């Protein structure tokens, strides 16, 4: 991303499930103010929200960053959690390692990563067990 990109940073608090999703709600408001089209905003919102929740429930929180240029929006989600052992499995609808207490909170259907893929133009996952996970969600506006 070049230096003319608008950049917003959010600390995603891994200690509090109640805060999970805040960064995505804030981002949605920002994108509305900037005048991004509602379709694109919806796609970004859903994908980022899933990624943000994943950071909280699977990885003790992390950093969410939003970079906006005239023709591209990039969302990065970075954590130093446990990493994803098998990305191919994790990408399958219905695959989840979430324990019962997470399912009781309404998450753990194994739909998050597939949703992120569905609701982004490009998605890159960089993950290493014991090191962490970085996900890029790309949106091409033109």
Partner 1 sequence: MKISEVAEILNAVVLTGGDKLDYDIESACGSDMMSDVLAYVKDQGVLLTGLMNVQVIRTLLMMDMNCVVFVRGKIPAEGIVEFAEENGVVVLQTKLPMFEACGRLYAAGLGHACEEMAVADEQ
Ligand X SMILES: Nc1ncnc2c1ncn2[C@@H]1O[C@H](COP(=O)(O)OP(=O)(O)OP(=O)(O)O)[C@@H](O)[C@H]1O
Query: By C-beta, is 20 or 68 nearer to Mg ion?
Result: 20
* CA-to-CA separations, 92 to 2, 102, 113, in angstroms, rounded: 34, 19, 8
Binding string to ligand X for residues 100 to 119, with x set by CB under 6 A, is what? -------xxxxxxxx-----
Query: By C-beta, is 1 or 60 nearer to ligand X?
Result: 60
Query: By C-beta, is 27 or 96 nearer to ligand X?
Result: 96
Instruction: Report d(CA 54, CA 77) in Å as an integer.
Output: 10
**101-140: contacts with Mg ion (CB under 5 A):** 112
Name the nearest CA neighbour of 71 among 115, 28, 121: 121
Q: Which residue has the tokens 């098998």?
A: 86
CB 68 → partner 1: shortest distance, Å? 18
Backbone angles phi, psi at 48, to 5 degrees: -65, -40
Q: Which residues bind partner 1 (CB under 8 A)?
A: 17-18, 20-22, 24-25, 28, 38, 42, 45-46, 49-50, 53, 93, 103, 105-112, 114-115, 118
């Amino acid at each position: 991303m070049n230096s003319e990109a608008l950049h917003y940073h959010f600390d995603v608090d891994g200690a509090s499930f109640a805060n999970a999703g805040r960064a995505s709600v804030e981002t949605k408001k920002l994108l509305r103010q900037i005048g991004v089209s509602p379709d694109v905003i919806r796609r970004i919102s859903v994908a980022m929200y899933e990624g943000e929740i994943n950071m909280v429930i699977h990885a003790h929180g992390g950093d969410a960053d939003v970079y906006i240029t005239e023709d591209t929006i990039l969302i990065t989600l970075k954590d130093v959690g446990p990493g994803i052992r098998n990305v191919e499995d994790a990408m399958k609808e219905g695959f989840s390692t979430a324990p019962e207490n997470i399912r009781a909170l309404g998450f753990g259907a194994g739909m998050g990563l597939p949703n992120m893929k569905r609701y982004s133009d490009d998605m890159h996952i960089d993950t290493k067990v014991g090191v962490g996970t970085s996900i890029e969600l790309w949106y091409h506006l033109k």
